[in-house]
Amino acid sequence: MTTNSKDILVLAATGKTGRRLVPTLRAAGHRVRAASRSGEVRFDWDDRDSWPAVVRGAKAVYLVPPADPALAEVFVELAVEAGVRRLVALSGRGMDRYDPELFPSVAAGERAVRGSGVEWTIIRANNFDQNFDEDLWHAPLRAGRLALPTGGVPEPFVDVRDVADVAAALLTSDGHHGRAYDISGPRALTFAEAVAVMAEAAGRKIRFEELSPADYAAEQLADGLSEEAVAEVGSIFDVMRAGHLADPADGVRRILGRDPVRFEDYAARAAAAGAWS
Ligand SMILES: NC(=O)c1ccc[n+]([C@@H]2O[C@H](COP(=O)([O-])OP(=O)(O)OC[C@H]3O[C@@H](n4cnc5c(N)ncnc54)[C@H](OP(=O)(O)O)[C@@H]3O)[C@@H](O)[C@H]2O)c1
């Protein structure tokens, strides 16, 4: 790999946000290192020998925090030593209100960029629309039943295209240093409403079922998830049921000067691509 001090390093470049961010940056004329274990540039959090080459000479980094909370700070120190001058970290909505122990990896990512000594910005995003077609809730929806412990609290789901556009703006424009932006979709929907929108878009029956937290944990354990994973996902719903994430945030409009993607538009696009058929 040739080094170039104009490069922007995108971590988790094959993930839901990274794989939209990379082409967005390139379309705007920026040089990008798209890094992950299977990405264009090999980067593995579990192999420190893979770190120096990806950061050397890069000017900015999109940081999706590693699962191991001990690694973010060490990585950021290395990146800054290597010349990185701007860091944009992906985080979750409400991270300022909760015990960092609930989501240790995301909290460690926030701490690492705050302590970096260079320009930093944090993106605190609500739950992604794409959790319904690219992640956790895809298989249950295809099977026709999504059952979750939401307490009926609505969620202003955000499209990862908006997250990527926001990240691109923060990585490439000035005036965002030291800020944490809340990013959400334009309106909050209950999961029951969201499932109804997706079912209609897909032209088939899919039902939503409200579960107690204990029943949800039992279902997940029966599905083979580890106790650790079950506890982490359970914490996400604890936080959502408290209602602190339910109001739409204005981050997309403040940064991009446009409204965020509507859930109905996301659902129509995903259904047309066959997500829930
Ligand atoms: N889902 C949500 O609703 C939501 C909301 C707010 C915040 N977040 C935050 O979003 C983050 C996840 O971002 P995302 O959804 O864009 O990614 P993602 O779709 O979960 O994909 C994970 C990415 O990490 C890479 N990766 C996994 N293990 C790696 C390793 N050992 N070394 C290097 N790269 C590795 C994967 O690529 P390879 O397999 O090629 O390595 C992939 O690109 C999490 O921190 C989560 O807390 C999520």
Distance 15 CA to ligand 1 centre (A): 5
46 Cα nearest atom in ligand 1 = 31
Q: Which ligand 1 atom lies nearest to the CA of residue 109?
A: 45
pLDDT tens digits, one per residue of 157-180: 999 999 999 999 999 999 999 999
Per-residue tokens: 126: 């609500």
Ligand 1 atom at shortest distance from the alpha carbon of 13: 43
d(CA 43, CA 52): 9
Per the structure block, which two tokens stand in for 44?
Answer: 């593995």
56-60, 211-215, 220-224, 229-233: which has the minimum mean pLDDT? 229-233
Question: Which residue, chain included where needed, has tokens 């039992």?
Answer: 218
What's the pLDDT band for 83 if we cut at 50, 70, 90?
A: very high
Ligand 1 pocket residues where CB is under 6 Å: 12-18, 36-39, 43-46, 64-65, 90, 92, 106, 125, 127-128, 131, 135
Dist. CA 67 → ligand 1 center (Å): 9
How far is ligand 1, taken at its centre, from the CA of residue 17, in Å? 8
Q: What is the DSSP letter of 158?
A: B
For the chain, how far is it from start to end, CA to CA, in angstroms? 42
User: Alpha-carbon distance 55 to 3, whole Å?
Assistant: 9
User: 190-202 burial, b if ≥16 CB within 10 A, otherwise e?
Assistant: bbbebbbbbbebb
pTM above 0.75, yes or no: yes
**Nearest CA, atom 9, ligand 1:** 91
pLDDT at 134: 97
Specify the pLDDT at position 9. 98
Q: What angle do CA 148, 181, 183 make, to 5 degrees?
A: 40
Q: Return the residue matching tokens 């192999």.
A: 47
